[in-house]
């Protein structure tokens, strides 16, 4: 018997096999959870379809998280295909390249709006649309991905750090709002991982080296470790945890550097 046998989940944000979202998918599916996935645009459809095909019973839907209509269509599909929802994983973030490469003070109004809409507000929109399905679960869990740049200034992170701060605040407010409905909401703050999204951050290679040198464990976090933490949060072992940001970064966040 798997830890999550009979459970269902949906994962937003898989791009390829090196995605944090895919590491989470493997951990959840390995424990018995049946999963749904989304993809944005034809560019990612092939990758997501191929990966989802390796997990029996998986379903996929197109979704732009900035479109309420597409979000609604996704959960109509989940209701039809899965019937209920126990876990929602939000691993979605975006900022315009010029707003990551320049000075933060130069962030445009539109760049600020886009970063917050896709990276933070989307969590609220997804949870709201998913709520009728999550309420059918006796142990619903929402998991969002964040990074330490929400609390400290990280070179090249700029408006994304501000959006992640908004995301973490949204986690707390959602947790307080939905606790009476037996829906838990938490975030995982992972250390830097060599993903497609991370390569858009200026100086990322140097960031990896610095983290490995300064973290108490003297290494960078592995994708498997992030997936295992999500598995814990999705399971009954974390039934008393909500509104938290859990750091999975080999201890880097505790250091004064």
Residues found in the chain: 257
Check residue 194 and give its pLDDT: 77
Sheet of 34-39: strand order equals 59-62, 34-39, 8-12, 87-90, 140-146, 183-190, 245-248
Q: What pLDDT, on the 0 to 100 scale, is given for residue 48?
A: 96
Residue 220 confidence (pLDDT): 95
The ranges of the chain with pLDDT < 70 are 1, 195-202
- In sequence order, the β-bridge partners of residue 190 are 248
First to last CA, the chain: 45
**pLDDT reported for residue 199:** 61
pLDDT of the residue at 7: 98
Catalytic residues: 147, 157
* pLDDT tens digits, 140-160: 999 999 999 999 998 889 999
Give the pLDDT score at 202: 66
All structural domains of the chain with their residue ranges? 8-247
In this prediction, residue 205 carries a pLDDT of 82
Per CATH, the number for 8-247 is: 3.40.50.720
User: What confidence score (pLDDT) does residue 169 get?
Assistant: 98
Q: What is the pLDDT of residue 200?
A: 56
**What pLDDT is attached to residue 243?**
98
């Amino acid at each position: 018997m798997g830890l999550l046998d009979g459970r269902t989940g949906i994962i937003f944000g898989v791009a390829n096999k090196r995605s944090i979202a895919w590491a989470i998918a493997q951990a959840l599916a390995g424990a018995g959870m049946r999963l749904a996935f989304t993809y944005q645009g034809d560019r990612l459809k092939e990758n997501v379809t191929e990966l989802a095909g390796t997990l029996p019973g998986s379903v996929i839907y197109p979704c732009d998280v900035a479109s309420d209509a597409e979000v609604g269509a996704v959960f109509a599909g989940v209701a039809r295909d899965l019937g209920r929802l126990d876990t929602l994983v939000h691993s979605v973030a975006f900022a315009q390249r010029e707003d990551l490469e320049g000075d933060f003070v130069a962030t445009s109004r539109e760049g600020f709006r886009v970063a917050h809409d896709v990276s933070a507000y989307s969590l609220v929109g997804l949870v709201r649309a998913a709520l009728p399905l999550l309420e059918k679960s006796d142990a619903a869990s929402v998991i969002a991905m964040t990074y330490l740049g929400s609390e400290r200034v990280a070179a090249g992170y700029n408006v994304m750090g501000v959006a992640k701060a908004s995301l973490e605040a949204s986690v707390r407010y959602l947790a307080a709002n939905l606790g009476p409905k037996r829906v838990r909401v938490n975030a995982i703050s992972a250390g830097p991982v060599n993903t497609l999204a991370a390569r858009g951050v200026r100086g990322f290679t140097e960031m990896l080296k610095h983290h490995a040198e300064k973290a108490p464990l003297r290494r960078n976090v592995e994708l498997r470790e992030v997936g295992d933490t999500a598995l814990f949060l999705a399971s009954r072992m974390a039934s008393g945890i909500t509104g938290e940001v859990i750091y999975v970064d080999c201890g880097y966040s505790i250091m004064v550097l």
